[in-house]
Structure 1
Amino acid sequence: MKTIFKLIFLLGIQFLYSQNTLSGTVKDASNESPIANVYVFISELNKGVLTNNEGNYILNIEAKGRLNVQFSHLGYQTVLQSAVVDATNTTVTLDVVLKESTANLNEIVVTHAFENEFKQNTFKTDVVHKDDIQKVGGFTVMDVLNKIPGVDATTTGTLISRPVIRGLSSNRILTLIDGVRFETQQWDDEHGIGVNENGVEKIEVVKGPESLLYGPEAMGGVVNFIQSKPAPVGTIQGSAFTSMSRNNHGWRVLANVDGAKEKLNWGVSALGKLFSDYFINNQTFRVPNTRLSEYGAKAYVGTNQKWGATRLSYTFNQAFFGILDGKDILFGPNGEIINTDIEKEKYPLETEAPFHTVVDHRVISETNFLLGKSKLDAIFSYQNNHRTENEEFALGKILGKKGYKYVDMTLQSLTYNVKWNTPKWGRFSSIAGTQGMFQNNQNNSGAKTVLIPDASIADFGFFAVSKYEHKALNATFGARFDARNLATKTTLGYNYAIPEISRSYNNVSTSLGLAYTIAEDLVLRTSFATGYRSPNLNELTSNGYKLESRRFEIGNANFDKEHNNQFDFSATYEGKNISLETSFFFNRVNNYIYIAPTGNLIANNINPAEMVAEYKFYQSNAELIGGEARLDIHPVGWKWLDFETKFSTLEGKRTDNDSHLPMMTPTKLSNTLYFNCKDFWKLSKNSFNINLASTFDQNKVEANELKTKGYCLVNFGWFTSYKSFDFTLTANNLLDKNYVNHMSRFRPFNISEPGMNIAIGCKKNF
């Protein structure tokens, strides 16, 4: 009798769970054979499962509403389907066929307002994956982002870099992580992007104004770090990765564990990095104090219920960046570089003054409410960024290796982002939303000086955007209003005072994009978008000597907002043997802010007896024009061979005197041959590549800017798998070329980029 009751109980539970189900079969489009281990993921519920050996899947769903279902598997084009689960449609069957993909162009893009397949996007988006950092032997995420045509990086050594998209950088590029605008002290070139790959699945890059969806500081583009998806229901999975780089004796470790049940998912991950100074000239010259130590952790927990899903995450990260300020570099009688920083070790790792310390705490809450035919997304976050800078004592390291605290600032930010996806009306889908931020910057006691004042910023914006779909045509259009109030307190610096200011900035942004697909292979896109940003605190209030840049900088409290208008056209063709992407852009920037030397010497406020170079911030209208191209040849009959070439060029000028803008990315050309080899012994997925990366002369420079010679680099990569282990071997700058990067802040010191660097990596999946 007990057995009967137990059976009835289990059947009852199964009956309850089967009230709402999504099921189906996934097959290969070429031969209709089932595909196992396809990840079927519902973004609204943050929930997914894997297909079994017969290609079947089943998802138990308590919620009701319109759901976006992603089908993804390595080597196949990702497919996005829509499913409606309601009172009259509780059992939904969704069968899907997947096509093989060589070029991997058909990604699911989430950066834009609507979750789309790549070819449905009206704005071109580039996607790179976290594992690509390993495959290119990179030190940071920027080492893979700058492989995208039209994207470069302003660098301070190998470990501090920030993105440059089509010539625009600084606060003109918005960084998003886990759906939240990442707020840190990024008002100066010496501060990096501040985000690493911990807990990240992929990175999406949009070139051009995205102020319509994200507000201020998205006028040049968006770099969006997309969080990792949860584990499939009923599984616990994870990985551990480690790598070593020869040039700077660097180590990188990354590990994660994720699990999921029917209504619960969770995950933890941790990251550690330790890099010494990098070398040039065949390991004979060490570039002093270009080292880094960094560690961090992330944890999240999420649940899905009848009303939708929610997820809460916490991230901690701390990094110590060495500062090369020029005092340790001298030039001999023949122009040779001399390093006066004497170290006992060849690869010093200890943090010594001068250095930055950056500590981040980030709490993010993400919730999706399913409201029948519509849905509501709400993201709230709290961020605490603590930045300090330690400098050497005047007598050197005798008084302590850590020096004295030169700057100490805490930036706290509260952000919200609420979007309502309205019910679909015919061929139209619409979103209305509001976003905002409350921010406070505080200079802490005990620091020697103040670089930017105590300040508060309040942002408010609301927007509406619509999408129209008709057969091969996709169109998006929308508008947005933003208001920013900025107020600073009277702040005493070292031998000077920063007066109190109060400013308000308002803006209306618009956007129109069209995408037309011809015969499923060719997609034509054109767009027009506007963006804006308000001047940052550094540009408004600077009035003192900067130790690292070794110059006296003067801001202007009366600066107007920057705003721009960009026209963009692109064409993407993806055939069986060839993939081709081309794009052209024209960007008009009004009230462009830049810094330039005045030619005068001024008394150093830190040491009034010393006269130093005076630099001022200016405003002028500017125009940027350029384009990119990418060609991928992957013959169907020669699956062992793949050739890719990428090209980018741009020119930036002031419109008042037709002079060139400073720090513009030079023209670049990259050619790569990929060879996919058969399984050998117990090694599988064998592939290697040879890359020739050419950077052309940069002679189109600002009047007081140095020109830079072009160079060619040879790079090599090898990848293989053994059981559950993945191995990578890379060799960058294989010929140990001595060259100067035009986008490097070390260029005035004539310091070259790293010489040959061999890196090995190993990843264990479990």
Structure 2
Amino acid sequence: MKTILYLLFFVSIPVIQAQNSIQGSLTDSHTNQPIAFASIYIPQLEKGTITNEQGMFTLHNLPTGHYKIVCSIIGYETYSKTITIPATENLDISLSPSAIEMEEIIISTPFHKLQSENVMKVEQEKMSDLKAKGAVTLAEGITNIAGVESISTGLSIGKPVIRGLSSNRVLVYTQGVRLENQQFGDEHGLGLNSSGVESVEVIKGPASLLYGSDALGGVLYINPEKFAQANTNEADLEATYFGNTLGYSGNVGYKESSDKWKFLIRGSVTEHSDYDTEDYRVTNSRFKEQDFKSGIGYQRTQFKTEFRYNMNHSKLGIPETIGAQNTNKTPELPYQDITNHVFSSKSNIYFDKSNLEVNLGYIYNDRKEFEEHHHHGEEDHDHEEDHDHEEDHDHEEDHDHEDALEAALHMKLKTFNYDLKYHLPVYGKFETIVGTQGMNQVNTNYGEEQLIPDATTNDFGLFVMSHIHFENADIQIGARYDNRNIQVVNGFTKDFSSFNGALGVKTKLFDKITARLNLASGFRAPNLAELTSYGTHEGTNRFEIGDENLNNEQNFQTDVSLEFKNEHVEFYVNGFYNLVNDYIFLQPDGTFIDGTPVYSYVQEDASLYGGEIGFHFHPHPLDWLHVESSFETVTGKQTNDTYLPLIPANTLNNTLRVELDSKWMEQLYGFVKLQSTFAQNHVSLNETKTDGYNLLSAGFGATLPVLNNNLSIAVSGSNLTNKTYISHLSRLKSEGIYNMGRNISVSLTYNL
């Protein structure tokens, strides 16, 4: 593999070419007036600028080739067009007024297009919008995206669920590289903080063609914040208080860019007490988190590169029963102590009419789990019992006691992954990418307990994908081969291979109606837990037994999408049918070991089907008023008509939102949202039914000038009626423990 990387690097050394520039103007298509302070951006080059007061712009130091230019500003439709550099004439661009929010470039798909141009349906949400809706954590925030839910353990631990699929079936990308953090476990969270996150993208459906194994159910793509524009600098402070948990989060960031060099840094800290319900606080749902992000980039005409680093350290309490009622923020036993280090580099080399993209990542996941009876001595154990019954104890004593504990479970997961894509020269109507992706992963145990064995995993994949442009339609087609090799120390060696393909079509049925049809296959190799488990893990209350003879999961999904859009109305309907052969799941076998029920990993063919419906109305002339509604549904069944476990309940969301500007305030907004979750009666053999519930939330915010800088204020409230309810995807459901009650949060962001 090293030989391949060296060879690719050698052949990709760029030849020196002349520097190019483009210039142009931006005007209103109705009035022909210049549009000032609009964003001009070339996503493939990650270069941009803004128009001046006369609507003029210039971009320098551009490589030769074909690139997409995107022009956007609030109040206008986003403009996108492929241009040839060097340009022979000025770019005179007209934008059409629109009350619909401006579009962003989709990064998670390889051709980097606007969603309106994309063949594959991708959902994108800005992190600032998710926070404005009152999300306490990133895992909670993504549940505001249609078709996305979260398997939760209290407030601090959440796993993404896309159309009923979760765990290793959903791949998470951060900083452009795949995140590996022992995601097979129900109580293993993301290990990511929302600070320094620009936006979140969700691919709903098999994305194995783009990302290989573990993307069978979809991809959650976390986009980090962008560097500052050339020759500018920015700094900001953000602080948020959460009334329910008496918790807080704060972060500070700074970034600066010259013509060639870029730099950013951000640090954050978060602490929460046990969350409150109408009847009680949920004991040991408290957590602490520290996060640090940094990045450095370099760019010249034919070459750009960036290196990013993220360290996330968290201590997460694991709730079990309702016990001592207090507002301490230091987790009690049992709890997790997790440190994630994510190193990533992203480089692009531009040739005459083609370019090479090289993404490299190294993830170091250090997971410790502490539970009862793992002390250095009996005296420490007695101290812990006293500690559990104290409601008011000193913070330093907590740390002294934690130092005396030994981790019952301690695993270190070290993952190196690579992703190389070569963008061939555009040939007529064809854009084509060929690439290779792979991973080397080593898991090592250091604790007394062993959840999964020491093992090494190697992935290798090759793929090709083309986007074909016709006058009335766009077609995307591709094929891929993957191999995964798993070597268990003092155990077996397994090889899993698969060929997969995808075909998608986007076309205009009528002037305002866009149709998409996507057919794709995907696969997932069994993970180490499914192959090797034999024992009880803290918080699961079950004895799990794996099966080393499990086969690949192989699926085929059909997606159909219809979208209607004019200046004041948007309407969409998405439908999917997902057939999964050899679906792997846990099933009780009716026996007990040491009084604990035994669950075995088994396989059965299954199918999942459902979709989403959405409506967005902003009436003329009340363009500041937005009425939004969405409904999502998914059903999962085995071939014997038995329902699959952990399938989200049907949900209806209705939102009334206003957006205004005044002389004293900018970006003034307010919203009221009613989420109606229906009863989940379609449950597996080892699940119980869940009642439906309604949750009311509301919020408002604005940006105003303070000391020549902008101060943004956001106030939001969730579960305003303090409803007592239990989500079907809560891991605390079996104990009858409620989800979080009423929460009021206040957030301040000051841009320096």
TM-score normalised to structure 1 length: 0.90
Aligned to 2:742: 756
Q: Which stretch shifts more, 719-728 or 30-39?
A: 30-39
CA distance in 1, matches of 2:99, 2:546: 50
CA distance in 2, matches of 1:92, 1:554: 68
Letter in 2 for 1:422: L
Aligned to 1:150: 147
Letter in 2 for 1:363: F
Aligned to 1:740: 726
Aligned to 2:393: none
Tell me if 1:638 matches 2:585.
no
Tell me if 1:622 matches 2:602.
no
CA distance in 2, matches of 1:473, 1:405: 57
CA distance in 2, matches of 1:253, 1:104: 28
Tell me, what secondary structure is at the counterpart of 2:734?
helix
With over 3 angstroms needed to count, the CA separation of the structure-2 counterparts of 1:204 and 1:428, relative to structure 1, is: same
CA distance in 2, matches of 1:159, 1:378: 34
CA distance in 2, matches of 1:30, 1:225: 37
Aligned to 2:61: 61
Q: 1:313 aligns with which of 308, 313, 321?
A: 308
CA distance in 2, matches of 1:81, 1:566: 31
Q: 1:364 aligns with which of 344, 352, 356?
A: 344
CA positional deviation for 1:262 = 1.3
CA distance in 2, matches of 1:22, 1:56: 11
Gaps of 5+ in 2: 1-16, 374-380, 388-399
CA positional deviation for 1:101 = 4.0
CA distance in 2, matches of 1:520, 1:418: 38
User: 5 Å matches for 1:102-181?
Assistant: 102-104=99-101, 106-181=103-178
User: 5 Å matches for 1:345-744?
Assistant: 346-393=326-373, 396-398=384-386, 401-402=401-402, 403-444=405-446, 447-490=447-490, 500-603=491-594, 611-655=595-639, 657-677=640-660, 679=662, 682-723=664-705, 724-744=710-730
Q: Which stretch shifts more, 617-626 or 18-27?
A: 18-27
CA distance in 2, matches of 1:256, 1:374: 35
Number of equivalent positions: 711
Letter in 1 for 2:544: E
Q: Which stretch shifts more, 245-254 or 585-594?
A: 245-254
CA distance in 2, matches of 1:269, 1:82: 34
CA positional deviation for 1:722 = 1.6
Letter in 1 for 2:716: T
8 Å contact kept, 2:19–2:301: no
Aligned to 1:293: 288
CA distance in 1, matches of 2:129, 2:148: 16
CA distance in 2, matches of 1:563, 1:19: 48
Letter in 1 for 2:668: N
Tell me, what secondary structure is at the counterpart of 2:408?
strand
8 Å contact kept, 1:571–1:582: yes
CA distance in 1, matches of 2:60, 2:672: 47
8 Å contact kept, 2:304–2:348: yes
Letter in 2 for 1:428: F
Aligned to 1:608: none
Letter in 1 for 2:605: N
Letter in 1 for 2:157: I
CA distance in 1, matches of 2:313, 2:24: 45
CA distance in 2, matches of 1:19, 1:602: 71
TM-score normalised to structure 2 length: 0.92
Letter in 2 for 1:702: S
CA positional deviation for 1:217 = 0.5
Tell me, what secondary structure is at the counterpart of 2:129?
helix
Letter in 2 for 1:68: K
CA distance in 1, matches of 2:246, 2:550: 45
CA positional deviation for 1:62 = 5.1
Q: Which stretch shifts more, 553-562 or 392-401?
A: 392-401
With over 3 angstroms needed to count, the CA separation of the structure-2 counterparts of 1:509 and 1:274, relative to structure 1, is: same
CA distance in 2, matches of 1:642, 1:548: 43
CA distance in 1, matches of 2:40, 2:551: 49
Q: Which stretch shifts more, 227-236 or 570-579?
A: 227-236
With over 3 angstroms needed to count, the CA separation of the structure-2 counterparts of 1:41 and 1:380, relative to structure 1, is: same
8 Å contact kept, 2:154–2:318: no
CA distance in 2, matches of 1:70, 1:227: 19
Over residues 506-561 of structure 1, what are the superposed CA-to-partner deviations in whole Å (9 max), with x where a residue is unaligned? 00010000000245532100010011111111111110111211221111111001
CA positional deviation for 1:297 = 1.3
8 Å contact kept, 2:420–2:435: yes
8 Å contact kept, 1:134–1:761: no
CA distance in 1, matches of 2:160, 2:568: 32
CA distance in 2, matches of 1:457, 1:75: 50
Aligned to 1:336: none
Q: 2:192 aligns with which of 190, 195, 202?
A: 195
CA positional deviation for 1:106 = 3.3
CA positional deviation for 1:678 = 5.5
Tell me, what secondary structure is at the counterpart of 1:285?
coil
Tell me, what secondary structure is at the counterpart of 1:213?
helix
Over residues 466-503 of structure 1, what are the superposed CA-to-partner deviations in whole Å (9 max), with x where a residue is unaligned? 1111123010001000001001113xxxxxxxxx1210
8 Å contact kept, 2:343–2:362: yes
CA positional deviation for 1:129 = 0.5
CA distance in 1, matches of 2:20, 2:659: 44
Aligned to 2:235: 238
CA distance in 2, matches of 1:223, 1:488: 29
Tell me, what secondary structure is at the counterpart of 1:143?
helix
Letter in 2 for 1:664: I
CA distance in 2, matches of 1:317, 1:74: 34
Letter in 2 for 1:407: L
With over 3 angstroms needed to count, the CA separation of the structure-2 counterparts of 1:160 and 1:99, relative to structure 1, is: farther
Letter in 2 for 1:33: Q
8 Å contact kept, 1:77–1:98: yes
8 Å contact kept, 2:74–2:101: no
Q: Which stretch shifts more, 578-587 or 667-676?
A: 667-676
Q: Which stretch shifts more, 134-143 or 480-489?
A: 134-143
Tell me, what secondary structure is at the counterpart of 1:438?
strand
Tell me if 1:227 matches 2:227.
no
Identity of aligned residues (%): 33
Q: Which stretch shifts more, 108-117 or 754-763?
A: 108-117
Tell me if 1:80 matches 2:80.
yes
Over residues 31-88 of structure 1, what are the superposed CA-to-partner deviations in whole Å (9 max), with x where a residue is unaligned? 2322222222233333222221112111111533333323232343333332322xxx
Q: Which stretch shifts more, 167-176 or 34-43?
A: 34-43
Over residues 80-126 of structure 1, what are the superposed CA-to-partner deviations in whole Å (9 max), with x where a residue is unaligned? 332322xxx36663232233443437332121121112122111110
CA distance in 1, matches of 2:258, 2:82: 23
8 Å contact kept, 1:24–1:94: yes
Q: Which stretch shifts more, 746-755 or 114-123?
A: 114-123
Aligned to 2:14: none
8 Å contact kept, 1:353–1:401: no
User: 5 Å matches for 1:275-286?
Assistant: 275-281=272-278, 284-286=279-281
CA distance in 2, matches of 1:233, 1:519: 42
Tell me, what secondary structure is at the counterpart of 1:688?
strand
CA distance in 2, matches of 1:28, 1:353: 62
Letter in 2 for 1:761: S
CA distance in 2, matches of 1:168, 1:421: 32
Tell me if 1:206 matches 2:186.
no
CA distance in 1, matches of 2:213, 2:29: 44
8 Å contact kept, 1:689–1:716: yes
